[in-house]
Structure 1
Amino acid sequence: MKTIKSLFTSTKPELLVTGFVFTEGPLWHPDGILYVSDVDAQVHYKVRLEQKVITEVIRDGSGGANGAVFDKDGCLVICEQDARRVVRYEPDGSITVLVDKYGDKRLNRSNDIILHSRWLALFY
């Protein structure tokens, strides 16, 4: 059985990127990109860890973006807890609101999301 230590070349903490207020919702892409949300600053970023720099601001005014996942098309699906909705970042840069209500009630600060194997989004 593998242990956590066996997955890493070092267990020593290493500072990779600075300049954030309060980070949440990390999402790793196989291309070497870490997507991370600075919830308090309301900014969602792309970070290239090997360069140790913020590569791109994906969205400023992110609605408190937190939990994130890639959908079957490779698009980001994100819980915006302050905006009380779940959105999809489209390839053209637009945003599609996937859900913001249950019945006639607004969502209550969805925090995290996963995708079921049948591409059914589960969030809480």
Structure 2
Amino acid sequence: MKIKRLGILAILLSVSSPYLFAQNLTSHPSNLFAADDAKLISSDFSFTEGCSVDKNGNVFFTDQPNDKIWKYSTDGNLSIFLDKAGRANGTYFDKKGNLITCADEKGQLWSISPSGKVKVIMNDLDGKQFNGPNDIWIHPNGDMYFTDPYYQRDYWTRTSPDLKSDDVYYLAKGSKKPKIAADGLVKPNGIVGTPDGKYLYVSDINAGKTYKYAIEKNGELTGKQLIINKGSDGMTLDEKGNVYLTLGQGVFIYNPAGELIAELKIKDGPSNVCFAGKDRNILFITARKTIYTLPMKVKGVE
């Protein structure tokens, strides 16, 4: 696949950002980052989302209104990875290096090869279109979990959902038949699992809650536990088990006990976050029209 370079954006690389303030809180000190190292990488998008990192540390993220997936390489270059991306939202890499995307345009899941070849891996639920797959996490064994909230899009022809509720779904490896993994939520959005595959975090953004579930061997979710009294759009974890939530004008970092230990105040309003770079020690943040990076003293686990 031909990759396009966007020279204009290179001008904005490595510019110190006046719109991001990083703070390690004194009540629960974290020392996760240096407060003056945040950088604005670019502000030339419409609405950035769905960032995830490949095995080499490159970040892929979506610009949903413009229907594109971008790549931010470890050497600081921005390029278009895929145009006409099915209005991709959340993304995650599988073990084969394919980018699994929540293709919101028709309520599908796509698998995109490193060369940009698209394969639809999930279409509907018993003939009914999904609300709009939003965010996704892949278990170490290849099983997938994704959230499916309904947000009316201006590029849709439909004006109401086929499904009666907004739920979390489970798609077993190799299967095309998803099933409900968690229901009873108002509007599930952000989702991320632990690297050992034992636990799954799900954010109910409209209820202002983030829950932790145990993942059973058959893929079922049990032991729902309220862990944080805050909702989130995108989410990630670091090597210490800290949970990173994006909501409003901040990235909020909680320790495994659910205590707020640090926050990043971002004027643009963050939508998602992941750890980038060859050593997974750079926090990459999508925030509406912008993207930011922040060197960290911890590493990511996704």
State if a TM-score over 0.5 links the two structures: yes
How far the C-alpha of 1:68 sits from its partner, in A, is 0.7
Is 1:41 matched up with 2:41? no
Distance, in Å, in 2 between the alignment partners of 1:93 and 1:46 is 12
Residue of structure 1 in register with 2:84 after alignment: 61
Q: 1:101 to 1:38 in 2, by over 3 A?
A: same
Number of residue pairs the alignment of both structures matches: 119
Is 1:72 matched up with 2:89?
Answer: no
Corresponding residue SS for 2:90: strand
Paired residues of 1:85 and 1:107 also in contact (CA < 8 A): yes
Deviation at residue 63 of structure 1 after TM alignment? 1.6
Greater RCO, 1 or 2 (C-alpha within 8 Å, sep 6+): 2
- Paired position in structure 2 for 1:25: 50
TM-score by length of 2: 0.37
Aligned to 2:122: 99
Counterpart residue type for residue 34 of structure 1: V
Q: Closer, same or farther in 2 for the Cα pair 1:37/1:87, shift >3 Å? A: same
- Between the aligned partners of 1:42 and 1:83, the Cα distance in structure 2 is 13
Shift of 1:97: 0.3
Query: d(CA) in 2 for partners of 1:26 and 1:59?
Result: 14
CA contact (8 A) 2:70 2:82 kept: yes
Counting only pairs closer than 5 Å after superposition, residues 81-120 of structure 1 correspond to structure 2 as 81-120=104-143
Structure 2 residue aligned with 1:11, among 8, 25, 35? 35
User: How many angstroms apart in 2 are the aligned matches of 1:90 and 1:50?
Assistant: 22
Deviation at 1:117, TM superposition (A): 2.6
Say which one has the larger Rg: 2
Q: Determine the C-alpha separation between the residues in 1 that align with 2:60 and 2:114.
A: 15
Take 2:115 and 2:70, find their aligned partners in 1: how far apart are those partners?
A: 17
Q: Secondary structure at the match of 1:40?
A: helix
Q: Distance in 2 between matches of 1:122 and 1:80?
A: 14
CA RMSD of aligned residues (A): 2.0
Instruction: Give the match's secondary structure for 1:58.
Output: strand
Q: Tell me how far apart the structure 1 counterparts of residues 71 and 116 of structure 2 sit (CA, whole Å).
A: 14
Percentage of identical aligned residues: 26
Scaled by the length of structure 1, the TM-score of the pair is: 0.84
Q: Which runs of 5+ in 1 are unaligned?
A: none
1:31: Cα distance to partner? Answer: 2.2
Residues 17-67 of structure 1 deviation map (CA, whole Å, 9 limit, x = unaligned): 23111100011234231111001111101012542x41x211111121111
CA distance in 2, matches of 1:100, 1:72: 22
Q: Which amino acid aligns with 2:39?
A: E
List structure 1 runs of 4+ shifted beyond 4 angstroms: none
